[in-house]
Every structure is written in C-alpha cells, then in structure tokens.
Structure 1
Amino acid sequence: MALPTVFVTGSIVYAILTGSLLFLTSLARGSGLLDKDNAGVASVVVTICGVCMWLFWACGVMHQWHPLIQPIYEHSE
C-alpha cells in the first residue's frame, strides 16, 4: 500500500518551509540580529513548530484517507 501523492507532496512542502525558516534563523545569527542564545532558542522553536504543524496536517490527511467511522445507510422501503 503506497502513500498518497498528496501526503508525500505536503510532507516535502513542510520540510522545505521548516528548512528555509531554519536557514533564515542562521542568517539572522550571522548578520548579528540574533545573539547566540536567542538563535538557539529560535532554532528549537522553528523545529518544534514545523514538526507539530506537519503532524497536525498529517493526522488530518490520514483521517480523510482511511476514515475510522463510516456512515451506515438504512434502506427505507
């Protein structure tokens, strides 16, 4: 059973967004906008936010892909 294309594509998008934000954090550290401690905190916050947002999105996609509850239709005669 293969993963749906939307799951793989969305996961790649979240990885790119998280990576680009981490890159921007390192640029802010290099340019002097953030000191060493604040850059470390920002990196941890960006990483945790990226993982948590991806997990929330992935749960929604998986719930729609294989629903646990299916409607039961009663036939009226």
Structure 2
Amino acid sequence: MSTFRSDLDLEVYDVTGNGVQVDVATNALNGTVRLAVLFTQEILLSADDAERVAQSLLRAAAHARRFEPKTDQEP
C-alpha cells in the first residue's frame, strides 16, 4: 500500500493526446509532495491544465504544512 495520496480532483493529460498524465500526491506519513508525470519524462499542457496542476500543487502544499512542526512566534 502506498503512503502517497493522489489528488483525485486532478485529471490532466498531455495536449497531444498520447495518454501522458500528471499526478500530484501527498505522503500521508511525512507530508512530502510528489509531482509525477506518468508514462514519460515530459508533458505538454494547455494553459487551463497548467492552472489545474498549479491549483493541485497548492492544495498539496496546504496539506503538507499540517506536518510541519509548530514554531513559537513571539512579537
């Protein structure tokens, strides 16, 4: 079983139609974020899909921050 949880709201494929897909996932144990391009080493995205990937990365970053230790902030 993988410790990574993929963003199920993200479904982005290469604009050329070759089936290449982007996956953004967060490690459920330590909060690291994985950006994977499945089936190849590069992907060509439309502007809308690039924005979807960016939003997914922002969601993953927000989730990952929950794993960061709290620091005491004094004025």
Q: Is TM more than 0.5 here?
A: no
**What's the TM-score, normalizing by structure 2?**
0.36
Richer in helix (by share): 1
